[in-house]
Amino acid sequence: METSLHQQLKEMYAGKGARIEVPLENYRIDVVRGDQLVEIQHGSLAAIRDKIRKLLKDHSVLVVKPLIVRKQLVKTKSRGGPVVSRRLSPKRGDIFDLFGELVYFTRVFPHENLTLEAPLVEIEEWRYPGHGRRRRRRENDFQIEDQKLLNVENTYRFQTTIDLLRLIPKGLPKQFHTGHLAKLLRTDRWIAQRIAYCLRETGATVQKGKQGNAYLYEFSKTLKCRAA
């Protein structure tokens, strides 16, 4: 079932004169704007990887991957029932969450016909009691009824490897490992490992041996620029 979030994003990207839910080559395209196909993917990019790869052969494609950076939790008594409580989720997201999806998409991005956009969104998530059979804490036993867009805080656009590198601030040594990257970005090592993988697979970096158990990387000399 389509969420309100997906519908709202389709309408936002369609604007005037675009077509929505268009059949094309055994697929259904979210939005067609002139010669550009727009696919809005709230789920995993892995799920549309093969579809996008095929469409890119003959079409210009914009993939929109919304990243939830703030979430208002709305709890109802039952599905469609009255609201019991509202609270702000303690979990926060940021643009670096994109790399958790990009690890499954590096054989598609970058491509001359592909643009990847990541809007950072604040949403409402409507929940009702799930009464599931799993052994878990009662407060975590819920079903998601809907997700609704509240605000778009910012939008990042990526067309080339250089666009990815602009997310990485200066300050890394010439040869660096994921520990250096994690410290620079003030994030967990496992997140830095995802970022390093994506940078290597998209040609932004090359692997240069090891330091202990850690792989060392350098920025590719074929790129004309990196982080501003």
Residue 184's CATH number? 1.10.10
**Which of 159, 181, 206 represents a domain boundary (last residue)?**
159
**How far apart (Å, rounded) are the C-alpha atoms in residues 194 and 100?**
6
Residue 226 lies in a domain: no
Question: Does one domain contain both 98 and 42?
Answer: yes
pLDDT at 226: 41
Strand, coil or helix: 223: coil
Residue 228 lies in a domain: no
Residue 224 lies in a domain: no
Question: Does one domain contain both 149 and 38?
Answer: yes
pLDDT at 190: 96
Question: Does one domain contain both 112 and 14?
Answer: yes
> Partners of 208 in the beta sheet?
none
Residue 67 lies in a domain: yes
Question: Does one domain contain both 68 and 82?
Answer: yes
pLDDT at 134: 52
**How far apart (Å, rounded) are the C-alpha atoms in residues 203 and 206?**
7
Question: Does one domain contain both 123 and 176?
Answer: no
Average pLDDT per block of 10 residues along the chain, 228 residues long: 92 90 93 95 95 96 98 93 94 96 95 98 94 54 93 97 94 96 96 96 93 93 54
Domain limits for position 199? 164-219
Question: Does one domain contain both 115 and 208?
Answer: no
Question: Does one domain contain both 33 and 132?
Answer: yes
Rounded to 5 degrees, φ, ψ at 180 are -60, -45
Question: Does one domain contain both 108 and 188?
Answer: no
pLDDT at 17: 84
Task: For residue 55, give the amino acid letter.
Answer: L
Question: Does one domain contain both 168 and 154?
Answer: no
pLDDT at 43: 92
Strand, coil or helix: 17: coil
Residue 176 lies in a domain: yes
Question: Does one domain contain both 133 and 202?
Answer: no
Work out how many domains the chain is built from and give that number: 2
Residue 82 lies in a domain: yes
